[in-house]
Amino acid sequence: MKRLLFTVVLPLSVISFALITKWWYALPADAPGTIYYGFPFPFVANGWHTSMSLQIFVAEFALDFLLYFFICFFMVYCIQNYLLEIKPSKIRTIVLWLLATIIIVGALFIASSPDHLIYLRRTDTIEIKQSALKFLWQQVPRLSNEAR
């Protein structure tokens, strides 16, 4: 199982973390309506000081990634112990790690912008108006005036 952690679970966690998320339209206290992203905790939002910036919340990001990791671990563990034995081939492992590396490098490139604000935790209180699951290839729908 230890070998499966590094060959299957970790890259699957990174890939699923990038592909499946949730958007939240929320009204923070003393700020304009903002769209947050992250599941189950919102860990990134549009910045308020400039249009091309982000606010990144590290604690929420870490908790979200740990949840994705444990879900992937649980699925692989159940499949390995109750359904069939997982024997990842070298090609599959390389493909998984290649996809995970591309996602990590892309996220680091985006996060390295000097305009982004990185906080340990989100301290503002928010009132959630609308939310939905989102896949990487989907766009957030235009919000109606009732949601704003």
In a domain, 77, yes or no: yes
19 found inside a domain: yes
Q: From edge to edge, which strands make up the β-sheet containing 20-28?
A: 117-119, 54-57, 44-46, 34-37, 20-28, 126-135
**Domain contains 141:** no
Nearest to 59 by CA among 119, 3, 139, 125: 119
Tokens 């444990």, residue located: 70
Classify 89 in phi/psi space as left (phi over 0), alpha (psi -120 to 50) or beta.
Answer: beta
User: Where in the sequence is the domain holding 54, given as residue range(s)?
Assistant: 2-135
Q: Give Cβ neighbours of residue 129 (< 8 Å, ≥ 6 apart).
A: 25, 26, 27, 33, 143, 147, 148
**What is the count of structural domains for the chain?**
1
Question: What is the per-residue pLDDT for 145?
Answer: 47
Residue 105 lies in a domain: yes
Each residue's pLDDT expressed in tens, for the chain with a length of 148 residues: 677 777 889 999 999 999 998 888 888 887 777 888 998 889 998 888 777 888 899 999 999 999 999 999 999 999 888 888 888 888 989 999 999 999 999 999 988 888 888 899 988 788 888 877 888 777 776 665 445 4
Residue 145: inside a domain, yes or no? no
Is 143 inside any structural domain?
A: no
